[in-house]
Structure 1
Amino acid sequence: MSAYSDNMEQAISHIKQQTILMQRSLTQKKLMDALKHCSDMLKELRNPDLSPKLYYELYIIIFDSLSILSQYLVENHPTRHHLADLYELVQYTGNILPRLYLMLTVGVSFMQTKDCPAEEVLKDMIEMCRGVQHPIRGLFLRYYLSQRTKQSLTSDISLDKKFDIQFIITNFIEMNKLWVRLQHQGPLRERDLRTKERKELQILIGSNLVRLSQILDDSFALYRDEVLPQILEQVIQCRDVVSQTYLLDVICQVFPDEFHLGTLSQLLDTTLKLNPDVVINKVVLSLIARLNGFWDRQDDPNAIIQNLNHLKLDSNTDEEEHSADDGESTAEKLDSEPVSRNKFDLFFVFWKYLTKITEERPDLPLHEIIPLVHSIMLLSLKWYPSNLSNVDILYKFCWEKYQDFGKDIPEECEQSFKELFIYPLSTDNFYEIITTCDSFQKLLSVQSITLQKSIINSILDKMVETNTKITDKQHLDKLGAICEPIISVPNNKPKTSILTVSDDLDSELTFFNPEQEKLAKLVHLIYHKNVDINTELLLICKKWYYNGGKQLRFTYPALITAFWKLIRKLHFKSLKRPERKEDYNAKIKQLFKYVSRCNTDLFNVCGLSISDLIFKLNLQTAAIADQLTLSEISYDFFSQAFTIFEESLSDSKVQFQALVNMAQVLQKTRSLYNDEGYYDTLITRCTLHGSKLLKKTDQCRAVYLCSHLWWATELTLIGEEEGVTKNFFREGKRVLECLQRSLRVADSIMDNVQSCQLMVEILGSCCYYFIHGDESETHVGVKYIAGLVELIQANLKGLQLEESGEVQDFTAPSQTIVIGCDGSYICKTLSSSTCMVSSKIPNVRIPDLIAVPVSYFERTLEYIENQKQVDYRFNAITT
C-alpha cells in the first residue's frame, strides 16, 4: 500500500479523517495515538506528483491540524508531559518529513514555556531542516518553521534581536537555494512550466524579508551592517533570473524608504552583478518609484535632505558625495572631487550608477536604457525641480547613446523615447526644460518624423493651455528649432512632374491643418512690455515661418494680427505721451512696412490661390491706418487691395463680394476725406469696378451699394452724431447717379424676374436715402420714388401675364424660393428638408420665381405705408 493517496480528493479526505482521530485522542489524553495520527496525515506531503498549488492546499489543511496539537501541548506542559522529553521523542518518527514537522511543532511549543533554551532549540530546528533537500518539500517545511516561530521571536532591542535576525536570514538563504534548485529539476522542455510554478511559490521566500523588516523596526545601523549585506550576497550568488528579480523587488518594497536612501549605492552596485538576463531597469524603476513616493508622503520635503545628510555621515562609507545645491550645475562636478562630505545628492548617485552600468554592460539594449533614464529624470524633477542641468545631462546622455546605436534603433524604443519627452510637459517648469536644455532639441531631432510631430503638438497644446508667454529671443529660437518639422515644407516627396507636386501640395493645404493652427496660436503667446523687443520676437517668428512654403497661408495672418496689436499699442502710448509722438509714429510706420512685407510674401509664395485672403488683409490694414489718421499709408494699402482685385481675382462671385467688402471699409474711413483727393479717387475706382462686373445683376447691386460711399453716416464709436457732426462726406448728386445707373442696368436685364427683383432692391435704397436726408441734399425725392414704384408695378403686371400664359404642372412639388444678397436663389422643397443654393435651379416653376419679387415689393410698400405715420413726407408717395 502506498504511503500517500493517489489523488487530491483522497488526500484531503485522509487528512481530515486523521485530524478527527487526532482530536479524539487528545480529548482522551492519548498523546502517543494523536502523534501517530499526525504522522499518518503528514505522509500526504511526501507525494512527489503534487504541483506547488496542490501542495500548498494540503499544507494549509495540515497547518490548521498541527495548530490544534500545538495548543494542546502548551496547555498540558508540564502536568501530563514535559515538552523537552517530547521533543526528543518525536525525533524517532520513521519518515523524515513527518518527523521534522512534528519536531518543529513540539519545539515551537516548547519555546513558549519559560524554562526553554530558545536559542538552542532554534539552532537545532533550523539545522535539522537540512535533512529535506527536495525543493518543494523543503520550502514548505522551512515556511512552516517561519510561520511557527513568528510569535516566539523577540522584538526587543537586545542581543537576542541579532540572533533572531540571523535565524531568519539563515532560513531565507536555505529557502532561496531550494527555490532556485526547483528550476533545474525535470526535463528541459518543461522549463517554462517550472518557472511558472516557481513564481507561484515566491511568496514563501518573500515572507522571510517581511519578517525581517518587522523585527528591524528603525534599527538602520543593524540593517546596513548585518542584514542587507547577507541578503544581497545571497541574491548575487544564486545567479537565478527569477530569484534575483523577485528578491530585489521585495527588498525595495518591504524595507523603509530611509533605509534605501542610506544604502542606495549598495543596492545599485548589486544590480551590476546580477545575471545578464535580469532586466535591470525594472529593479531600478521600482526603487525610484519608492523614493518618489517617499518624497510625496512627507509633510516637509525640504527636511528630507537634512535627514539624509545625517544618515550618510553615520554610515561611514567610502562613497563619493556630491553637492545637492539646486543653484549649482551637476555637470560641472561629475568628474571632479567631492565638494562636500556633508551633502547628499540623490541625482548624482543615480547618474554615477547610470554611467557605470553603461560602461560595464555595453550590450545593454537601448529599450532598457531609456526607461532607466526616464525614471532618473522623474526623480531629479521631483527632488531637485530647479536644477534643470540634471535634465539636460540625461537628454545629452540619451542623444549620445542614440548616436552610438546609429539607425538600428528597434521599434519598441519609440514609446520609451516618447515618454521621455512627454513627462517634462506635466511639470510646472516644462517651458524652462524645452528652452534651456539644448539636448532636448538634439535628441528630438533624430527621432522619427511621426514621433517628432506628436511631441511638438503636445508642447504647443501645453503652451496654449497654460498661456505660456514667450519673452526671450533665445527661447523663441529654441522653439523654432523644435517646431521645424511642422514648419518646413517636406522636400522628400517623389517628384513625378512639377504640376503633380504643386497639385499635391495644394490639395494638402485645402483644409485647415491643426498643426498650423497651433503654430498660429504660438504667435499670440509672444509678448514683451518693450514694443521694440516684441517686434524683434515677431520678426524672428516670421523668419522661422517663412520656411513653411505655402503653409504661410495659415501662419502669416496670425503674424499680421500681432503687428496690428503692436500698432494700436503704440498709438495709445502716443496719445498718453504726446512729447514722444514722432518717435511712436516712426515705429508705427515701420510696423506697417512689416505688414506689407508679410502680404507680399504671402502673394509671392502662395500665389493666386489666396488672393482673396490677401485682399482682405490689405483692406483691414488700410482701415487701421485710417483710424490712426495715417491717410497716406491707408491709401497705399487700399491701392494694394485694388491691385490684387484687378490682377488676381477672376471669379465673378469673388469679385462682387470683394467690392462689397471694399465699400464697407471705405464707407467708414474718415482721414482720407481732405488729403489730396484720396477718398474720392478710391470710391470712384470702387464704383467703376462695380459697373464693370461680368454679370449685370452683380453690376446693379455693386453700383447701388457703392452709392453709400457718397453718403457717410454716423459712427457712434468715435463720437459722431447725426445733426451734430458737420463734416460728413455727402454728395447727393453722385448718390442719385449711382441709383440711376443701377436702375438702367436692372431694366436692361433680359430675365424679367431678376429685373423686377433688382428694381425692388433699388427702391429700398431710395427709401433709405429719403429717410436719412433732405430731398435737396440726396436728390432722391417723392417723384423719383413714385416713378420707380409705377415702373415696378408695370413690370410685375407683365410678369403676371407671363404667369397666366405658363402651362403649370401641378404634380410637381411646391417650392419656396428666396433670393440671397448676392443674387443666388435659395430653394427649399416643401416635400423634403433639402435646400439648394444656385443661380439656376432645375425644374423650378415660373410662379414660384415670380413670387419672389412680388413678395419683396409688397413688403416694401407696406413699409412705405407704415412710414407715413411717422414721416409726413411719405404721404406724397402714392402706392
Structure 2
Amino acid sequence: MYKDTVLPRILEQVVNCKDELAQYYLMDCIIQVFPDEYHLQTLDVLLGAFPQLQPTVDIKTVLSRLMERLSNYAASSADVLPEFLQVEAFLKLNNAIGKVIEAQPDMPILGVITLYSSLLTFTLHVHPDRLDYADQVLGACVRKLSGKGKLEDNKATKQIVALLSAPLEKYNDIVTALKLSNYPRVMEYLDSETNKVMATVIIQSIMKNKTHISTADRVEALFELIKGLIKDLDGTLDDEVDEDDFKEEQNSVSRLIQMLYNDDPEEMFKIICTVRKHILAGGPKRLSFTVPPLVFSSLKLVRQLQGREENPFGEEESTTPKKIFQLLNQTVETLSNVPAPELALQLYLQCAEAANDCDLEPVAYEFFTQAYILYEEEISDSRAQVTAIHLIIGTLQRMHVFGVENRDTLTHKATGYSAKLLKKPDQCRAVYACSHLFWVDDQDNVKDGERYVEVLLCLKRALRIANAAQQMSNAARGSTGSVTLFVEILNKYLYFFEKGNPQITVAAIQSLLELITTEMQSDSSTPDPAADAFFASTLRYIEFQKQKGGAVGEKYEPIKV
C-alpha cells in the first residue's frame, strides 16, 4: 500500500506544490516518519522525486538524512544487509546524487561535497568490503571539484576533511585508505592549512592504531598524502607560521618516521631512501626535526646487519653497513644548511659508535673527523662547547675499533679542545675527563706504560687549571674560592689508584688531601656546604676501603685522613 499508493500520491503533491519551503519540509517529514525498511524497498520512487524539486530546495540536507538513516539501519543488524544488496541501494543513491547535482547547476560546492560525504559514510557501513565503491564516490567528488582550484570555503574544506576521515575511522588503517586511488586526488583541493590538518589526522590514525607500513611504495604514497607537513605547499613565509604549531607538526612527522619498518634489510633501505628523498625536499627549517629519526632508523638497520657477511644476498647492490653509513654521512651533512652544528655533531658521534660496533675503523674515524671539524668551525657558544667536548670524550672512551695512531690523534685533539674552553672550571673538568681516554678498563691496548704517564699528566694539568681558577676567584672576591674542583680531581686520583695505575701514588693522593684541608681551613675561605659534604663523603669512602681489608684495604692503608 505504501509503495503503490501512499508514497506516489504524497510525492505527487510535494512536486506539484512548487513551494521550496513546503517541499523541503514535506520531504524531510517523509524520511523521518516512515520506517527505514519502507525507504529501502521504495528507493527508486523516493529518489526519483528529488531531481523534480525546485532548484532552491536544500536537497543535500534531506538526502543526507536519508542516507544517514539507511546507514544506521544497516549498522543495526547484519541480517538487513542482504536487503541492501538486493535492491542495489548504493548504485541507486549514487545515480540519484548525480541527477540532483545536474538538476541544480547552481548548487554550492559545499552541497556537492556534503552529498558525497554522506554517500561515502553509507557505503562504508553497508559495503565495507567494497573498496571500489568507496573509490568510486571519491572519484565522483573529484570530477565535481575539477576546475574549482583550492577551496576557500571553510565549511566546504571541513566537509572534505570529514569525507577523507571516514575511511580512516572505518578501517582504522591508513594502508586500506592508500588503496583508494582517488584519495590523494581529493586532498589536492585542500588549501595549505587544511591539508596540514588532514595530514595530522592521518598521522594520528597511524599512531592510534599502530599501523605497520612496511613497503617503500606505501611509504611513497603516504608521504604524498602528508606532504603538507613535509614541505611548503604555497608561498607561506616561515615567520608567518606559529612556532609552537610548527614544532608539533614536525614532531608528529618525526614519530611517524620511527614507525616505518620492515624486517627485510633491502626493503627497509628502500624505505629509508624514500623518506630521505621527501624530507630533504622540505627545506632547512624542518631538517632538525626530521633528520634525527631518519638517522636512528638507519642505525637500527645497521645494528640489524651487524655481524653479517659483507654481501649476505650475493648481489652487487646488496644493503651493507658501509652503504648505509655513506648515506648517513650525506644526510647529517644537510644539517649544515639549517644550521644545526650541535645536533649534527651528536649524530656524527652516534654514527661513529655504530661504525665502531661494526668494526669499520675508517668509517668511524671519518665520522669523528666530521664532528671535530664542526666543533672547530661552527660551535662557538661556550656552553655548547662544553656539552660537545664531553660528548666527544664520552663517545671516544667507548670506541675499541681504533688502532694506536688513530686513537692517539683523536685523544690528543680532544684534550687540546678541553684545555681551550672559555672558563677555567670547564677546562678543568674536561681535561680530567680526558684522563679516561688513556685508560679504558676493557681495552688492554689502552693500558701501557706510556698511557699510565698520560693519565697522570692529564690529572696534573687539571690540577694546575684548578689552581689557576682558585687564584682568579681569590683575586675577584678577595677570599678563597670553593675547593670543589680539587675534591673532584681527588676522586679521579682515587679511581685510577684503585684501578692499579702505578703513576698514581699514595704520596700524590696525600699531597692533594693536605692541599684541600689547608684551603678549607683558611680563614679567608668562602663557606661552601656542598664542597664540604663532598669532601667528607670522599674521606668516608677512603676509610670504608681501608676497613674492607684484603688487597684493596692494603692499598688504602698508607693514606692518612
2:48 aligned partner:
269
1:738 aligned partner:
458
Cα distance between partner residues in 1 of 2:560 and 2:137: 89
Out of 487, 492, 500, the residue aligned to residue 230 of structure 2 is 487
Q: Over residues 821-840 of structure 1, what are the superposed CA-to-partner deviations in whole Å (9 max), with x where a residue is unaligned?
A: xxxxxxxxxxxxxxxxxxxx
Q: Over residues 282-323 of structure 1, what are the superposed CA-to-partner deviations in whole Å (9 max), with x where a residue is unaligned?
A: 221222122112211224355335xx53xxxxxxxxxxxxxx
Matched, 1:561 2:296: yes
Residues 295 and 328, structure 2, Cα contact 8 Å, conserved in 1: yes
Matched residue type, 2:388: A
Matched residue type, 2:410: L
Matched residue type, 1:280: I
Matched, 1:349 2:92: yes
1:876 aligned partner:
558
2:179 aligned partner:
436
Residues 377 and 391, structure 1, Cα contact 8 Å, conserved in 2: yes
Q: What does 1:62-461 align with in structure 2 at a 5 Å threshold?
A: 222-300=1-79, 303-305=82-84, 309=86, 344-405=87-148, 410-428=153-171, 430-432=173-175, 434-461=177-204
Evaluate the alpha carbon distance shift between residue 680 and residue 270 of structure 1 in structure 2; reply closer, same or farther with a 3 A threshold: same
Residues 704 and 762, structure 1, Cα contact 8 Å, conserved in 2: yes
Which TM-score applies when normalising by structure 2?
0.90
Matched residue type, 2:324: L
Matched, 1:712 2:436: no
Residues 560 and 595, structure 1, Cα contact 8 Å, conserved in 2: yes
Q: CA deviation at 1:258?
A: 3.2
Q: CA deviation at 1:561?
A: 0.6
1:780 aligned partner:
504
Evaluate the alpha carbon distance shift between residue 303 and residue 398 of structure 1 in structure 2; reply closer, same or farther with a 3 A threshold: closer
Matched residue type, 2:541: Y
1:698 aligned partner:
426
Cα distance between partner residues in 1 of 2:318 and 2:523: 66
Q: Which has the larger radius of gyration?
A: 1
Out of 533, 536, 540, the residue aligned to residue 862 of structure 1 is 540
Task: Give unmatched runs, 5+ long, in structure 1.
Answer: 1-221, 310-343, 495-500, 715-724, 804-846
**Which is worse superposed, 246-255 or 344-353?**
246-255
Q: CA deviation at 1:271?
A: 1.3
Q: What does 1:524-603 align with in structure 2 at a 5 Å threshold?
A: 524-549=258-283, 550-571=285-306, 574=308, 587-603=320-336
Q: Over residues 548-574 of structure 1, what are the superposed CA-to-partner deviations in whole Å (9 max), with x where a residue is unaligned?
A: 2121100010100110111111126x2
Evaluate the alpha carbon distance shift between residue 235 and residue 552 of structure 1 in structure 2; reply closer, same or farther with a 3 A threshold: same
Out of 338, 341, 346, the residue aligned to residue 616 of structure 1 is 346
Residues 302 and 324, structure 2, Cα contact 8 Å, conserved in 1: yes
Q: CA deviation at 1:375?
A: 0.8
1:523 aligned partner:
257
Q: CA deviation at 1:263?
A: 1.8
Cα distance between partner residues in 1 of 2:275 and 2:319: 22
Out of 513, 519, 537, the residue aligned to residue 789 of structure 1 is 513
Q: Secondary structure at the match of 1:427?
A: helix
Cα distance between partner residues in 2 of 1:669 and 1:581: 30
Residues 184 and 224, structure 2, Cα contact 8 Å, conserved in 1: yes
Q: CA deviation at 1:598?
A: 0.8
1:826 aligned partner:
none
Cα distance between partner residues in 2 of 1:528 and 1:480: 17
Evaluate the alpha carbon distance shift between residue 301 and residue 709 of structure 1 in structure 2; reply closer, same or farther with a 3 A threshold: farther
Cα distance between partner residues in 2 of 1:508 and 1:279: 39
Q: Over residues 135-187 of structure 1, what are the superposed CA-to-partner deviations in whole Å (9 max), with x where a residue is unaligned?
A: xxxxxxxxxxxxxxxxxxxxxxxxxxxxxxxxxxxxxxxxxxxxxxxxxxxxx
Evaluate the alpha carbon distance shift between residue 439 and residue 655 of structure 1 in structure 2; reply closer, same or farther with a 3 A threshold: same
Q: CA deviation at 1:582?
A: 10
Q: Secondary structure at the match of 1:234?
A: helix
Cα distance between partner residues in 2 of 1:275 and 1:511: 46
Q: CA deviation at 1:490?
A: 6.5
Matched residue type, 2:559: I
2:477 aligned partner:
none
2:378 aligned partner:
648
Greater helix content: 2
Q: Over residues 177-201 of structure 1, what are the superposed CA-to-partner deviations in whole Å (9 max), with x where a residue is unaligned?
A: xxxxxxxxxxxxxxxxxxxxxxxxx
1:838 aligned partner:
none
RMSD after superposition: 2.8
**Which is worse superposed, 646-655 or 855-864?**
855-864
Matched, 1:763 2:483: no
Cα distance between partner residues in 2 of 1:527 and 1:393: 31
Cα distance between partner residues in 2 of 1:512 and 1:491: 15
Evaluate the alpha carbon distance shift between residue 239 and residue 451 of structure 1 in structure 2; reply closer, same or farther with a 3 A threshold: same
1:10 aligned partner:
none
1:130 aligned partner:
none
Matched residue type, 2:497: F
Residues 704 and 765, structure 1, Cα contact 8 Å, conserved in 2: yes
Cα distance between partner residues in 2 of 1:452 and 1:644: 37
Out of 665, 670, 673, the residue aligned to residue 400 of structure 2 is 670
Which TM-score applies when normalising by structure 1?
0.58
Q: Over residues 455-501 of structure 1, what are the superposed CA-to-partner deviations in whole Å (9 max), with x where a residue is unaligned?
A: 1111111111111122333332222222222211466257xxxxxx7
Q: Secondary structure at the match of 1:802?
A: coil
Matched residue type, 2:225: I
Q: CA deviation at 1:586?
A: 6.3
Matched residue type, 1:766: Y
Evaluate the alpha carbon distance shift between residue 772 and residue 475 of structure 1 in structure 2; reply closer, same or farther with a 3 A threshold: same
Cα distance between partner residues in 2 of 1:579 and 1:400: 50
Residues 151 and 157, structure 2, Cα contact 8 Å, conserved in 1: no
Cα distance between partner residues in 1 of 2:48 and 2:411: 84
Q: Secondary structure at the match of 2:263?
A: coil
Residues 432 and 458, structure 2, Cα contact 8 Å, conserved in 1: yes
Cα distance between partner residues in 2 of 1:396 and 1:448: 19
Task: Give unmatched runs, 5+ long, in structure 2.
Answer: 475-479
Q: CA deviation at 1:763?
A: 0.8
Q: CA deviation at 1:678?
A: 1.9
Residues 756 and 795, structure 1, Cα contact 8 Å, conserved in 2: yes
Residues 74 and 81, structure 2, Cα contact 8 Å, conserved in 1: no
Cα distance between partner residues in 1 of 2:468 and 2:259: 56
Q: Secondary structure at the match of 2:359?
A: coil
Cα distance between partner residues in 2 of 1:489 and 1:417: 20
Q: Over residues 754-805 of structure 1, what are the superposed CA-to-partner deviations in whole Å (9 max), with x where a residue is unaligned?
A: 57322221111111111222xxx341011110111122223334xx3225xx
